Amino acid sequence: MSLAYDLEVANVSKRYGDRSSGLLAVSDVSLSVRKGEFVSVIGPSGCGKSTLFGIIGGLIGDYDGEVRVGGQSHVGTHRDIGIVFQEESTLPWRSVLANVALPLEIQGMPRAEREELARHYIDLVGLTGFEASKPAALSGGMRQRTAIARTLAFKPRVLLMDEPFGALDEQTRLLLGDRVLAIHTELQQTTLLITHNITEAVQLSDRVVVMSYRPGRILKVIDIDLPRPRSSESITDERFGRYVAEIWGDLRAEASRGMQEGERKRA
């Protein structure tokens, strides 16, 4: 255990169904995220990324191994972990301001104080001017930015994101990546991102954790030695391209193995 790490995952395995013969989703996964670090986990479909996300977020139990947050063993949901899901999570009957202020309202913070803090995070994600808007009036990217602002508002130790821009087009994804980079630069927020997008992982991360096909194991951890602050313009950098190629080289055989297994099951 090290206090230099905000998040530690130690020898985590998860089997669904019978503990001796059920489906082994992840196997002996260990990783650590330092305070202020941005780490991405990437792997082919079926590698157990969502299972790992659920375990770390306290949404999935009955696993082997240990998760520690701030050096303390972590079981179940925890206020030190803020979660942003891929699926729509804004409340449609609440305005942007009311959505972002919700966790502060639940904490019992006085209205004036929570709205002032909520406006700060709304500005941070670039939504100033939309405080009174309902989610139905926003684009998908704007709704996800609302969800990120709401999660950041209660100041979690670790921000855990599960493909938050997975449903968006590539141009919007790159631009929102710029926004996430700006937020990370300002807050130095410890972040773990689950993604299947190699470009996104390299654009945002200090390190990229590459996972195998099922059962999910860590194949490699790659340090992204690109200067910060970064932006989407970094994708034209020759070094950026080399990182993308290296990760794809590691993933290609695993993704192919997953595709072949899927085809056998359909046959």
The per-residue pLDDT for range 218-228, each reduced to its tens digit, is 999 999 999 99
> For residues 37 and 209, is the Cβ–Cβ distance under 8 A?
no
DSSP H or E run through 10: strand 5-16
Distance between CA atoms of residues 155 and 153, nearest Å: 5
Q: What is the pLDDT of residue 266?
A: 66
Percentage with pLDDT > 90 across the chain: 76
Tokens describing residue 34: 């330092």
What are the chain's domains? 5-80+156-266 (3.40.50.300), 91-155 (no CATH)
**205 CA to centre of own chain:** 11
Q: Which residue is it, tokens 């200090």?
A: 206
Burial of 133 (0-12, 13-18, 19+ CB in 10 A): middle
Q: Which residue is it, tokens 């375990």?
A: 55
Distance between CA atoms of residues 118 and 153, nearest Å: 6
The model's pTM? 0.93
Q: What is the pLDDT of residue 1?
A: 47
Whether the pLDDT of residue 169 is over 80: the answer is yes
Rounded mean pLDDT, 161-179: 88
User: Which of the residue ranges 249-253, 254-258, 261-265 has the most confident prediction, judged by mean pLDDT?
Assistant: 249-253
User: Which of the residue ranges 131-145, 153-167, 252-266 has the most confident prediction, judged by mean pLDDT?
Assistant: 131-145
Across all residues in the chain, what is the average pLDDT?
92
Q: What is the pLDDT of residue 264?
A: 66
Tokens describing residue 121: 């995070």
Distance between CA atoms of residues 172 and 141, nearest Å: 7
Whether the pLDDT of residue 102 is over 90: the answer is yes
- Residues 5-22 pLDDT 10s: 999 999 999 999 887 788
Q: What is the pLDDT of residue 19?
A: 76
- Residues 54-94 pLDDT 10s: 999 999 999 999 999 999 887 776 789 999 998 889 999 99
- Residues 111-141 pLDDT 10s: 999 999 999 999 999 999 999 999 999 999 9
DSSP state of 256: H
Determine phi and psi for 210, rounding to 5 degrees.
Answer: -100, 125
CA dihedral of residues 63, 65, 68, 73 (deg, nearest 10): 80
Q: Which residue is it, tokens 């595709």?
A: 259
Distance between CA atoms of residues 266 and 262, nearest Å: 6
Distance between CA atoms of residues 179 and 183, nearest Å: 6
Q: What is the pLDDT of residue 260?
A: 77
